[in-house]
Amino acid sequence: MDPTQNAAFLAFAALAPILVSLLKQSGLSTQWNALIALAVYAIVGIAGALAQGEALSPQNAVPFIAASVVVGTAAYNLFWSKVGGDEEGNGSIDDRITNATSIVK
């Protein structure tokens, strides 16, 4: 199945940046946090492929992982990294969640 035709999967992929915010750490480098985000998007993509009821294989997992990365990254850049911020220097909701849930500071 084409992942772009599954509205539930696309909605979940667009909400995945919140999960990334919960897992990434404010004390880690940008590269480590990017790897955390990539891992989350890969898990979301694999879950989407498994939800189709077919056996997991590269032929059905790769399109879902790619769609998850693209939709999640776009949602983060267009919405989640900006919502909640203000002129007084308070960070976005993404920054606030990351700082509140970080173990490594």
In which domain, by residue range, is 85 found?
20-101
Please give the pLDDT value at position 89. 64
Report the predicted TM-score, pTM, of the whole model to 2 decimal places: 0.90
Q: Is residue 1 part of a domain?
A: no
Q: Is residue 84 part of a domain?
A: yes
Average pLDDT, the chain: 92
More confident site: 11 or 1: 11
- 52-101 pLDDT per residue, tens: 988 899 999 999 999 999 999 999 999 998 888 777 667 888 988 999 99
Q: Is residue 10 part of a domain?
A: no
- Please check the confidence at residue 42 and state whether its pLDDT lies above 80: yes
Name the domain count of the chain.
1
Q: Is residue 6 part of a domain?
A: no
Whole-Å CA distances, 20 to 14, 54, 57, 59, 91: 11, 27, 25, 26, 16
